[in-house]
A and B are shown apart, each in its own frame.
Chain A
Amino acid sequence: MDELISDEELVTRFPGHTLTRDNAAHYRGRLAHRLVINRCGDCGTWRHPPKPVCPACWSWNIVPTEVSGQGSIFMTVFLHQGPPAEGVDYSTPYPLITVALDEQEGLRFTSTVVGAAGDAIRIAERVELDWIERSGTPLPVFRLASTTAGSSAAGTSTTAAVTEAGR
């Protein structure tokens, strides 16, 4: 049903984001809990953020395609301050990660990590896509692969103390 909402409503669901004809499919995908990335229907190249044409072969046959959400952490930031956002309290440094997605070398997506904190969030750790809601709109986030169902050993790190490194 979310795929059928009007452009007007789509834009109102993502305040602060710049929606365009080229990234609308990505945002419609979010409403359906699908992480959608533009892929070239001819040469197969993935590209994010969305472009109107394939930068690799200049084909206009762009096919917004769901990714697996599997990948590994490429970069990390812990915000000690930042813009106000529902559910974000910077008194515990808020993690940002750029994830190298498995679909293609160099294809990356940036968001936060849930269910882990501090030193558990490290470059090269495997992650999986998850979804949370902010102000009633789905937000794609990641979860450490070691903390997903079936693996309880590392799953208690949610409350891990902030390390001396200041993370």
Chain B
Amino acid sequence: MISSRNPMKDKVAIAAAATTGFQPRNTERSRASYAAQACIQVLRDCGLTAADVDGISGSTPPAPELQTILGIPEISWFAEPVIPFVNQLSAAVSAVHSGLCEVALVYHAAYREAWSTASALKDPFRRPLSPGVSPGPETIFGGVGYTAWASRYMYEYGVPKEHFGYVAINGRTNAAANPAAAMHKPLTMDDYLSARMIRWPLCMLDMDVPVDGADAFVVTTAERARDLPHPPVLVQAAALGMVDRHEEDQTPSLRQHGQQVVVETLKAKSDFWIDDADVYFPYDGFTIITLNWLENVGYCGPGEAGHFIKEHWDDKTNRILINGRVPVNPHGGALSEGGTQGSGHVREAVHQLQGLAGERQVPDARRAIVTAGGFFFNAQGVTLRRD
């Protein structure tokens, strides 16, 4: 049952966002060092010190570890939600709104690990203490699930692989203007179609880039954020949507999974939707996820995302520009900035709304929609507006 009740609307702000930038290789640094760097940077950007922080939300590294890394003297609240990142963010927003804390440090460090890239194991510091035993390949649990649903998408809607390719090309074009991005080399449709197949029907360029790096945020009350150096970005609504039978192979259909719940919830709790959004951030951990988000948020009907993208493709800049105006993942997304499990999408949304997005800046961006995550346990979204 979806409710429109939303007492926290516009009461809590993201005061600042910072990133270390992302590297598509095993760097000679720890995950904790990236988290620490992003957190220190975002606190300094706000003119805050460790003593100003009384809440922490983050899971990689765990929040208690981060407190002692940064020497934060006392906190009254912390959380370690599972990814993707709207979970970390919305936990902090509700904690600030309810009074569990007043200044929450929220972060996510992406790190190349065995689950995202086998080459992580070349680094002895990344090898797990006790290597897991595989149950065998006969499962679509985890990322394989998106590949399976991509086969279903192609079957049900009769669409070609090129429709997935548009998403990859859009991300790469946008990443070229983002100094924090891992991938900058431009991409053609031929590059996409000839890329190494990993799990048919998805190839290497359908999957996000495993990276090292971190994002961090300061979340506080709207009142307090107005006294800090950057324009506050107000959180209108957040949603973490799931449907029953959300296991990868039991999920009801492409038209009935977590994303539809997220969309209905955000629409019920927010003052604006896609017609009034200036920039849109659909998750792109796999290209199929982005196609489905475009359909589910209402830009087009089921199976029409590829046609929609073609129709709204800006040939001059070689990327999506919805109605000639709204860019999609202008930072390059998980596919080309790096696989940050959504923190990159939120960070870029904040920078766009603060007017801090550099050469990627959308003129006078006031409202942003972030729809993070995929179909199963992990469909999420947040609507943001400039104060």
Contacts and interface: CB of A to CB of B under 8 A. Distances in A.
Given A14-B135, A123-B152, A80 B200 contact: yes
B250 interface: yes
B149 A75 contact: yes
Contact of B245 (A84, A85, A106): A106
Interface in A50-95: 55, 74-85, 88, 93-94
Secondary structure at the A interface, as helix, strand, loop or mixed, is loop
Contacts of A17: 135
Contacts of B129: none
B323 interface: no
A16 B135 contact: yes
A126 interface: no
Given A16-B132, A48-B250, A98 B140 contact: yes
Contacts of B247: 49
Given A106-B250, A108-B250, A15 B133 contact: yes
A4 interface: no
A116 to B, nearest CB: 15
A85 B134 contact: yes
Contacts of B138: 96, 110-112, 139, 141
B362 interface: no
B191 to A, nearest CB: 15
B199 A78 contact: yes
Contact of A75 (B152, B197, B244): B152
Given A55-B244, A75-B249, A98-B249, A88 B151 contact: no
B155 interface: yes
B73 interface: no
Contacts of A13: none
B200 A77 contact: yes
A110 B139 contact: yes
A77 B151 contact: yes
A149 interface: no
B199 A80 contact: yes
Interface in A12-42: 14-17
Contact of B147 (A14, A74, A77): A77
Interface of A: 14-17, 48-49, 55, 74-85, 88, 93-94, 96, 98, 106-112, 123-124, 134, 139, 141, 165-167
8 contacts: A75-B152, A83-B137, A88-B137, A96-B137, A96-B139, A98-B140, A112-B138, A123-B151
Given A15-B133, A83-B136, A84-B134, 15 more contacts: A16-B134, A16-B136, A48-B250, A55-B244, A78-B199, A83-B134, A93-B200, A96-B140, A96-B144, A107-B250, A108-B249, A110-B140, A123-B152, A166-B197, A166-B200
Interface of B: 132-140, 144, 147-149, 151-152, 155, 196-201, 203, 244-245, 247, 249-250, 252
